[in-house]
Amino acid sequence: MKTKNLHVFRGNVFFTICLFTSISVLFFACKKSEKDILNSVNTSNPLSNGPAGSDDGPVKNNRYIIEASKGKSLSDIVSDAQAEGATVIRVQRQLGFVVVESTASGFLSAMGSKASVGTITPSYDVKWTPSTNPHELDKSRITIPKSHITNTNPFFPLQWSHLAINTHDAWARGQKGNGARVAVVDGGFFPNHPDIINNVNLVLSRNFVVGETLEQAYDDFGHGTHCAGIIAAEDNDIGTVGVAPEAELILVKVLADAGYGSFEDVCAGIVYAADQGVDIISMSLGAEIPRTWKGENVNETRYIRDLINFVKRAVSYATDHGVTVIVAAGNSGINPTASGFLASPVGAPGSLGVSALGPRGWGLNPLTNLDEVASYTNYGTDIVEFSGSGGDFTQYPNELWFLDLVLSTSGAADYYFAAGTSMATPQVAGVAALIVGKYGKMKPAQLKTKLIGCVDDLGAVGRDAYYGHGRINAEKATR
């Protein structure tokens, strides 16, 4: 059997492990097997090393976002850009800009002088989610005695996050998100994963990354698939189960498989999802860029602000079209605003930012608190609206520390543990889907009010920097 190492990455933090003992041993933490279990994972330090973007600044991608001047049209921009030898990548009519590509050194100044051009902003690729070198969960070595199963999905006993938000009681009322449509805006997916395939609308799912397809090229950890499974892995007796196992999923790829992407592609994905009539957009992605960052051009800080404003406009477009946009707060353990970082899309007007909570030693004590503030989560009353189960790794390297992470679908037909606000965000989106399934389609302000009404108010009374309005509760959401 092939054993792979544990890897840790900047930004969203992912942990994947290979288990060589039975789940029953893991679940009840039998002491005699702990050494064997720990021998199956690499013991490198799993701590995050700092904010995303702190040493990897944005990289120019030869694209430009151009808005028309007063009295001119997007067609005028297209004509002028093509006359300068540029290739038109996208006409984003909903947001009022054109995306073009040119490698000519004088293109920025040449187009900036055109009468058709109101503003022109160089585009940049940013690391929105981390690179991964993930690891298989060897299902052939896993056995769960029937008497230990509380749900017929075999990996359900390891999904402590369902205990945290009381999904079982919501399901018992027959509320499983039927009728809700959720867009997962992320990197590559494995849409044929057996736990999500029946809930994925492949006809409406889309890829916006040039040179790649919707399906992730490499068959291992899939960030987007992991998030999709947290929302709506089907209740089908196969593996895990999502918060809203009957919700419809639309998969929208805006990031390359490696986690990089452009602001304009993120905008395109948001707009596309909104135009498909989704109820909820779940985005477990984010960029944190130092406000003092400088590159080749003294105006680049302004350009980055412009790009973030384009994303804000895309979020506003979605909310104006009846879509609730739920986004990850980030995994750098900072208040981005107070720490001098420009963050996107969290903090965009109308978006609902999500912080992460998790247990500390659940594998050894199933009665432990499941709602500790995650050691890595970003915080701040200006960005955090709600909190959800994202997992944590504070027990490393103690035995069974990895069971404090979130288990979900990933790979072509596999399951992985991972931690991050990336995991907490789709959990909140799943509860939002339960609400839509019960009450029907509603405006974002109404859905936000419903979410506020179903939280457990942890931490300081009322909204606070770490829990937001509180940790969502699926049972309360379906009363």
Which residues are annotated as catalytic? 186, 223, 422
Q: CA 421 → CA 77, 283, 358, 392, distances in Å?
A: 39, 10, 10, 10
Neighbouring C-beta atoms of residue 212, cutoff 10 Å: 17
Amino acid identity of residue 131, one-letter, is S
> Closest by alpha carbon to 384, among 317, 416, 336?
336
> Closest by alpha carbon to 412, among 253, 232, 217, 248?
217
Tokens of 398: 């103690």
Residue whose structure tokens are 């590559």 = 188
3 state DSSP class of 474 = helix
Residue 247: partners with Cβ closer than 8 Å, 6 or more residues away: 176, 177, 178, 180, 181, 182, 199, 231, 232, 430, 433, 437
Instruction: Give the H/E segment covering residue 344.
Output: strand 341-344
CA distance 320 to 226: 28
Q: Give φ, ψ of 340 to 5 degrees.
A: 80, 30
Residue 248: partners with Cβ closer than 8 Å, 6 or more residues away: 180, 181, 182, 199, 201, 232
DSSP 233-247: ---SSSS---SSTT-
> Closest by alpha carbon to 316, among 257, 369, 267?
267
Tokens of 387: 């909190």
CA distance 476 to 386: 15
Q: Give φ, ψ of 280 to 5 degrees.
A: -140, 140
- Under DSSP, the state recorded for 112 is H
Q: Are 351 and 326 in contact (CB under 8 A)?
A: yes
3 state DSSP class of 339 = coil
What is the sign, positive or negative, of the torsion defined by CA atoms of 333, 340, 267, 132? negative
Tokens of 8: 């840790």
CA distance 199 to 233: 8
CA distance 330 to 376: 8
Q: Are 388 and 419 in contact (CB under 8 A)?
A: no
